[in-house]
Amino acid sequence: KQEVTQIPAALSVPEGENLVLNCSFTDSAIYNLQWFRQDPGKGLTSLLLIQSSQREQTSGRLNASLDKSSGRSTLYIAASQPGDSATYLCAPCRGGNKLVFGAGTILRVKS
Amino acid sequence: DAGVIQSPRHEVTEMGQEVTLRCKPISGHDYLFWYRQTMMRGLELLIYFNNNVPIDDSGMPEDRFSAKMPNASFSTLKIQPSEPRDSAVYFCASSSSGTAYEQYFGPGTRLTVT
């Protein structure tokens, strides 16, 4: 059974800092991995999807890497802004299109 | 595109009543998923469909829960009878084999059973 761990559980940083969110998963036989953002009381917004054959994906200030063999993914946020404050969720996808979610990292960026 | 549409956004009902949640996936997507989110258990997959056919319902908690997808643009999740422990946010998501199965989520339905 896939288990997903996200570290840290919560993070508070001043505006402008670069930061790294970590995700580890126990079953490396994944098809892809998605990173999501969830604002309080809202749905999930897909940030990045990394396919199993890829090592990283970039979108604006976000960069996600994937090391499938070691069961790890990281989300790097450059020059953080208060608008980045949210919960970030990691979800590897195994066969059958099934996502398994971590508990998330709650990020607060202080102005 | 309007994205995934869910209704109602909020539902408050009494224990024992029937509840029906509705979802319209993104046009052209061939996968549809129902998730439940609670503080205690996080996000859990309940059931998913491919081309309107249920593929995996192993996450459905009890026989009180049922889901249907009568056509490519509509799905329902029904709880009958509802119980207070069913209180949660229910999300619908859809994806397409043509876009590497990236899942897009709806805004969710917040269900409160009193």
Average pLDDT per 10 consecutive residues for chain A, totaling 111 residues? 94 97 93 94 94 93 95 97 97 85 96 94
Strands A10-14 and A105-110: parallel
The residues, ordered by sequence, that sit 6+ positions from A40 with a Cβ below 8 Å of its Cβ are: A86, A87
pLDDT at A17: 97
Give B93 to chain A, closest Cα distance, Å: 9
Give A54 to chain B, closest Cα distance, Å: 12
pLDDT at B1: 66
Give B52 to chain A, closest Cα distance, Å: 15
Q: Which of B45, B91, B100 sits opposite A43 (nearest CB)?
A: B91
CA distances for B92 relative to A14, A57, A95, B97, B107, angstroms: 34, 25, 19, 17, 8
Taking CA atoms, what residue in A is nearest to B90? A43
Collect the ranges in chain B with pLDDT lower than 50.
none
With an 8 Å Cβ cutoff, are A98 and B45 in contact? yes
Taking CA atoms, what residue in B is nearest to A90? B43
Is A12's Cβ below 8 Å from some Cβ in B?
no
Measured distance CA(B63)–CA(A110) in Å, rounded: 46
pLDDT at A96: 64
Taking CA atoms, what residue in B is nearest to A51? B100
pLDDT at B97: 83
Q: What are phi and psi of B84, to 5 degrees?
A: -55, -35
Measured distance CA(A49)–CA(A57) in Å, rounded: 7
